[in-house]
Amino acid sequence: MKILLTGLNHKTAPVELRERLAISPEKLADETRALLSHPGVREGMILSTCNRVELVVCYEGREPELALYLNEHFSVDAQSLEPHLYQHHETEAVRHLFRVASSLDSMVVGEPQILGQVKESYSAARSVGAVGGTLERLLQGALAAAKKVRTETQIGSSAVSIASVAVDLARKIFGSLEGKRVLLVGAGKMSELAARHLLQQGAGSLLIANRTQERAVHLARKFNGHVVRFDDLHARADEADILITSTGSTEFIFRIPHAQQFLHRRRNRPIFFIDIAVPRDVDPEINRLDGIFLYDIDDLQSVTASNLSNRTREAQQAEAILEQELVRYQRRIETLDVVPTLVDLQATAEEMRQAELRRAQSRLQSLTPAQQAAVEALTHGLMNKFLHQPLQALKAAAREGDLATVDAIRAAFRLNGSREAAAQHETENSASSSNEAELTAASDDND
């Protein structure tokens, strides 16, 4: 089957478009099942993060119209969507997925979260039966490549995550986080990472609000913070100098009226919002208010530029490793592709052997069972001896990616149509056998 990858990311689409296509972890399995039912898709997986939405599918025959799927499924018109989409086929699709899993295509190069997100997407696809042999090999190859990059380079050595960049931005805004009160809205992995970095940067106190109270309590205990009941969020948000939001809400949590109340209660002391959620938690319109400073996930890209320059050498080494892994993956696939040829060659030879035995059957009837077994073993052994060299040559050619040799062996043994060739051989043998019988009878009459 062929491989196709279609999607958009932080490089090609703004956050206001990405959030319209965002899929929550709870809905990922259902959305993958819907993708699998799209015409032409045989296997499929969806990767949805704050920075990308990508569809990876395997198909036969006509290429699936994945842009149409996105248009219809997310109610986004083609004119708005298609200029931001990219498509990769076959080897380029494999290379792209390897780079994504290895965090070389991330906003923050080297961030560790993407590998876990790829695994979650893989698990969701498997749970709905969307993973077959082709996608299984692709994902296993991507995960192995990512592991090798992590093991053999220092690309993930320093603080690299969206959360850490958000905290770094807050520190640059204030100069120091000493004595600053921070409110985390959301208690997921991103918020936990943010909490850790905030404390390392000397934040004065930490408030945590989450829809599920238990998760907020757990995070607060872990970092010696204080819980704000989610129902009290708007009443207490003005206590914080910095609000970092990372929830799974599909609607804005903070709007202009909320921000106006915060400013009034803070006596116009400024308040900073860092919104790292997709879909966004904070209405971008509040940035128009004096005293409100809002940064969303796309604003973080300027902060990550210096991070990327510091990691160029490690990224180059990682790219070289991925190219090696890509070659290894392709050779594995080519080896698998030659398996039918190996089987076909053996089957063709066996059919010829059986045909020759049938042709000589009349002359073998006088042999004892032991003698007939010896003939069977002899012909079988000769066939295996004869096949050894071409079989080894096929395997070696597949390992080396030498498709010309594979094609030459296929042509030499007429394996492109081996079943038809075998049938023709059988017909020729039957005719030859008939002629031989006639000649034998004539010889007997002459004697």
Among 256, 278, 248, 275, smallest CA distance to 14 is for: 278
pLDDT band at 396 (very low <50, low <70, confident <90, very high): confident
Q: Are 254 and 296 a contacting pair, CB within 8 Å?
A: no
Give the whole-angstrom CA distance, residue 30 versus residue 233.
32
Q: What angle do CA 287, 274, 312 make, to 5 degrees?
A: 120
pLDDT band at 401 (very low <50, low <70, confident <90, very high): low
- pLDDT at residue 442 is higher than 50: no
DSSP 158: S
- pLDDT at residue 156 is higher than 80: no
The predicted pLDDT at position 140 comes to 93
The predicted pLDDT at position 443 comes to 32
The sign one gets for the Cα dihedral 65, 68, 70, 73 is negative
Q: Are 193 and 161 a contacting pair, CB within 8 Å?
A: yes
For residue range 296-342, list pLDDT tens digits in order: 988 887 666 655 565 677 888 899 999 999 988 887 776 666 777 77
Among 104, 150, 97, smallest CA distance to 119 is for: 97
Give the whole-angstrom CA distance, residue 101 versus residue 144.
9
Q: Where exactly are the structural domains of the chain?
A: 2-152, 162-300, 338-444
Reduce the DSSP state of residue 373 to 3 states and report it: helix
For residue range 343-382, list pLDDT tens digits in order: 888 888 888 888 888 888 888 888 888 888 888 888 888 8
**Helix (DSSP H) and strand (DSSP E) numbers for the chain:** 18, 10
The sign one gets for the Cα dihedral 353, 356, 362, 367 is negative
The predicted pLDDT at position 330 comes to 82
The predicted pLDDT at position 446 comes to 32
Phi and psi for 271 in degrees, rounded to 5? -135, 135
Mean pLDDT, to the nearest integer, of 268-284? Answer: 91
Reduce the DSSP state of residue 66 to 3 states and report it: helix
Task: List Cβ neighbours of 223 (8 Å cut-off, separation of 6 or more).
Answer: 195, 196, 199, 206
Catalytic residue flag (residue 58): no
Among 361, 360, 349, 328, smallest CA distance to 414 is for: 349
Q: Are 308 and 109 a contacting pair, CB within 8 Å?
A: yes
Strand partners, 129: none
Mean pLDDT, to the nearest integer, of 422-427? Answer: 38
Strand partners, 57: 4, 44
Cα distances (angstroms) measured from residue 350 to each of 99, 345, 347, 378, 426: 45, 9, 5, 13, 12
The predicted pLDDT at position 432 comes to 41
Task: List Cβ neighbours of 185 (8 Å cut-off, separation of 6 or more).
Answer: 191, 209, 210, 233, 243, 244, 245, 246, 247, 253, 281
> What does the H/E/C string look like for 298-336?
CCCHHHHHHHHHHCHHHHHHHHHHHHHHHHHHHHHHHHH
Q: Where are the alpha helices (DSSP H) in 202-273?
A: 213-223, 233-236, 256-265
162-300 to CATH, choices 3.40.50.300, 3.40.190.10, 3.30.300.30, 3.40.50.720: 3.40.50.720
Ranges 25-29, 230-234, 423-427: which has the least confidence: 423-427
Catalytic residue from among 28, 50, 108, 142: 50
Antiparallel, parallel or unpaired: β 41-48 and 52-59:
antiparallel
What residue type is assigned to position 128 of the chain? V
Higher pLDDT, 350 or 245: 245
- pLDDT at residue 422 is higher than 50: no
pLDDT band at 434 (very low <50, low <70, confident <90, very high): very low
Give the whole-angstrom CA distance, residue 220 versus residue 270.
25
For residue range 50-98, list pLDDT tens digits in order: 899 999 999 999 999 999 999 988 989 888 899 999 999 999 999 999 9
pLDDT band at 158 (very low <50, low <70, confident <90, very high): low
Provide the token pair at 58.
């395997």
Topology (CATH level 3) of domain 2-152: Beta Polymerase; domain 2 (3.30.460)
Q: What angle do CA 127, 29, 186 make, to 5 degrees?
A: 120
Predicted TM-score of the model (pTM): 0.71
Cα distances (angstroms) measured from residue 31 to each of 25, 26, 70, 115: 10, 10, 11, 20
